[in-house]
Amino acid sequence: MELRQFRYFVAVAEERHFGRAAERLRIAQPGLSQQIKAIERSLGVQLFIRDKRHVELTEAGEALLDQARLVIELADRTEDVVRLRARGKDGLLKVGTGATLLHPVASDVLTEFRARFPDVEVQLHPGFGAQHLEALTKRTLDVAIIQSPSIRAADGTSYLRLGALEVLMAIPEDHRLAALDRIPRVEILKEPFITWARSLNPPAIDGFHRSLLGMSEHPRSVEVADALVSSRLLMVAEGKGIAPIPFPFPQAGELQIRGVVFRHVEDPPPFLEYGLVWFESNVSPFVPAFLEVAHEVLLEQAPERERRPVAG
């Protein structure tokens, strides 16, 4: 198969529609259909089940899709790798990170990896869990750091827990709840609740709300499309509501917003777990080394009581 045929096949597989795939590729639909038939003849298998309304992958098509994505991304990265080699770099690793923060243990893993492998170009791609899962599936990312509820949306991924951030409530300092050391959940439900827009990452945000509130949606939710912590804290300072904030967050020492205090939530305290997600089949040869560094950082940071000898 030629590279362009791989692109044709992937477009149809992802769009599940010949017309939309043809528009995406900017070619005529009859020509695309002929190309797919030619691929099937050359492989001797049926890749799609077609009817007037639907296009579905066969088992052979599913097997080809994973390999086709690898081939396309490898081809697309070739120019980057050549340019990096001219600069003395050995290769490239693409890492998806949070849109607004780099989680503490993840930051340590990246720092340690760069120290051990200075000749590897590490590209950080900030974004949200849903975006990262799509990029991982297409192999345009090698590994991503995301909130764990997001991984349920992607079959075939592997997951390594890195840590968790406790969620505190940001409250106006003159608010009645500021007098409490721990905020009851029933009280949180009574106040305007300044939270992330669900569209940013539905699985992660729904999972977080269930952990904090016992339900996926707050009855007085105030959604903020801007994911920056500072945006929500400013709204709290203006008396527009209370907001859940994960701690520690990197900007904590820099944000000095007057009129805002932080309080813990009643037991059990809510946490946002985060970790690394990746596919075993990927483009970069440096993913195993990155994962090895992650395991070592976790071991070094684990309390002595949590360390156990590994059998075998």
Check residue 114 and give its pLDDT: 95
Q: Are 125 and 94 in contact (CB under 8 A)?
A: yes
User: In this structure, are 300 and 161 located in the same domain?
Assistant: yes
**Based on the domain organization, do 66 and 177 belong to the same domain?**
no
Q: Are residues 51 and 106 in the same domain?
A: no
Q: Would you call 76 helix, strand, or coil by DSSP?
A: helix
| 141 & 268 share domain | yes
Residue at 24 is within a domain: yes
Mark whether 44 and 182 lie in a shared domain: no
CATH code where residue 95 lies: 3.40.190.290
Q: Is residue 156 part of a domain?
A: yes
Last residue of a domain, which of 13, 39, 74?
Answer: 74
In a domain, 309, yes or no: yes
With respect to residue 83, please indicate whether it lies within any of the assigned structural domains: no
My answer on whether 202 and 153 are in the same domain is: yes
Tokens 């200075």 -> residue: 118
pLDDT of the chain along its 312 residues, tens only?
889 999 999 999 999 999 999 999 999 999 999 999 999 999 999 999 988 778 999 999 999 998 999 899 888 888 888 888 888 788 899 999 987 667 788 989 999 999 999 999 999 998 877 788 889 988 999 999 987 655 554 567 899 999 888 889 999 999 999 999 999 999 999 999 998 878 777 777 787 888 888 888 888 888 887 767 778 888 999 999 999 988 765 444 445 678 899 999 999 888 888 899 999 888 889 999 999 999 999 988 875 434 343 332
The tokens for 306 are 């949590």
SS (H, E, C) 215-247: CCCCCCEEEECCCCHHHHHHHHHCCCCEEEEEE
Q: Report yes or no on 60 lying in a domain.
A: yes
With tokens 């002929």, the residue in question is 34
Specify whether 146 is located in the same domain as 46: no
Boundary (domain end) residue, out of 74, 103, 130: 74
- Looking at the domain assignment, is residue 127 inside a domain? yes
Query: Nearest 5°: phi and psi at 27?
Result: -130, 170
Question: Which of 81-112 are b and which e, b meaning 16 or more Cβ less than 10 Å from the residue's Cβ?
Answer: beebeeeebebbbbbbbbbbbbbbbbebbbeb
Q: 140 with 287, same domain?
A: yes
Residue 139, phi-psi category: left (phi > 0), alpha (psi -120 to 50), beta (remainder): left
* Domain boundary residue, one of 25, 41, 74: 74
Establish how many alpha carbons lie within 13 A of residue 294's alpha carbon, considering only the half-sphere containing its beta carbon.
24
Helix, strand counts (H, E) of the chain: 10, 12
Q: Do 61 and 177 belong to one domain?
A: no
pTM assigned to the model: 0.77
Q: Is residue 85 part of a domain?
A: no
Looking at the structure of the chain, the number of domains it has is 2
CA dist 42 and 309 (Å) reads 52
Whether 119 and 90 have beta carbons less than 8 Å apart is answered as yes
Q: Is there a contact between 33 and 246 (Cβ–Cβ < 8 Å)? A: no
Q: Smallest Cα–Cα separation from 146: which of 293, 247, 273, 252?
A: 273
What six digits make up the tokens of 237? 């300072």
Q: Are residues 246 and 309 in the same domain?
A: yes
CATH number for 65: 1.10.10.10
Question: Is the domain of 107 the same as that of 239?
Answer: yes
SS3 of residue 144 by DSSP: strand
Predicted pLDDT at 216: 80
Residues 6 or more apart whose Cβ sits within 8 Å of residue 40? 46, 47
- Tokens linked to 68: 């086709």
Query: How far from 213 is each of 100, 104, 209, 217, 271, CA to CA, in Å?
Result: 23, 25, 5, 8, 12
Q: What is the number of residues in the chain?
A: 312
* Residue 80 in domain: no
Q: Are residues 47 and 190 in the same domain?
A: no
Contacts of 26 (CB under 8 A, 6+ apart): none
pLDDT for position 41: 93
Which residue segment(s) compose the domain that 35 sits in? 3-74
Q: What is the pLDDT of residue 227?
A: 65
